[in-house]
Amino acid sequence: MHEPWIEGRFEEGVVTTTVEQAINWARQSSIWPMTFGLACCAIEMMAAGAGRFDMDRFGAGAFRATPRQADLMIVAGTVTYKMASRVRRLYNLMPDPKFVIAMGACTVGGGPYFKYGYHVVKGVDLVVPVDVYVPGCPPRPEALLEGLMRIQDKINGHRIAKNGSGKLNDELPIPHHSGYVSAPADGEPMREHQKVTS
């Protein structure tokens, strides 16, 4: 984990709020995804980057060929156990702050391979921390763009000033038109299939 560059070094104030807005605006308008695809969902990701859907409108069209220059990992496709360690290694090589979109049913939870796919990881969130899930098999490019906008929301909620306790005050705003789910009251995990069994 890298030391934060500017976050948490200053008290709340007019200057920090203004600088924060400028930094967040710059960051959310210049997301660089990694050039990286694992299966059929990657074709939809490529479509999202091409002329008709044009991810460049969001400043996110500069797909980088190295994780060291990327701040968004779009995991597009089936994650096999063989590939999982590579996915983690690529994630570790990305500089902070970094974000992950799990694109497609395979990546979200195993997808069509959930029951009989002995070789498929049942959700890439077992491998890297996921910020936004985009369901579908495959999701359409519009769905990926929606996920990208939710990542922009998250960047927008980033706070660089300390909060009262002196800790980082990094909030994820609730998406303004996607709704949200409440955690179950009994405290059970929401994704039963991700319980680790030995």
Query: How far is it, in rounded angstroms, from Cα 56 to Cα 145?
Result: 11
Residues 36-65 that bind ligand SF4 (CB under 6 A): 39-41
Tell whether 7 is in a known binding site: no
152 binds ligand SF4 (CB under 6 A): no
Say if CB 106 and CB 124 are below 8 A apart. Answer: no
Residue in 77, 48, 52 with CA at minimum distance from that of residue 63: 48
Distance in Å, CB of 117 to ligand SF4, minimum: 10
Q: How many CB atoms lie within 10 A of CB 81?
A: 12
Nearer to ligand SF4, 77 or 123 (CB): 77
Distance in Å, CB of 75 to ligand SF4, minimum: 10
**Residue in the block written with tokens 């967040």:** 24
105 binds ligand SF4 (CB under 6 A): yes
77 binds ligand SF4 (CB under 6 A): yes
Q: Tell me the two tokens of residue 191.
A: 């994704």
| DSSP percent split of the chain into helix, strand, coil, nearest 5 | 35, 10, 50
Nearer to ligand SF4, 67 or 111 (CB): 111
Nearer to ligand SF4, 48 or 161 (CB): 48
Nearer to ligand SF4, 120 or 161 (CB): 120
Q: Which helix (H) or strand (E) holds 150?
A: helix 141-156
119 binds ligand SF4 (CB under 6 A): no
Q: How many CB atoms lie within 10 A of CB 29?
A: 12
**Residue in the block written with tokens 């990546």:** 107
Q: Tell me the two tokens of residue 179.
A: 């709704």
Distance in Å, CB of 163 to ligand SF4, minimum: 39
Nearer to ligand SF4, 67 or 104 (CB): 104
104 binds ligand SF4 (CB under 6 A): yes
78 binds ligand SF4 (CB under 6 A): yes
Q: Is 80 helix (H, G, I), strand (E, B) or coil?
A: strand
Query: How far is it, in rounded angstroms, from Cα 49 to Cα 66?
Result: 17
Distance in Å, CB of 62 to ligand SF4, minimum: 24
Binding site for ligand SF4 (CB under 6 A): 39-41, 77-78, 104-106, 111-112, 137-138
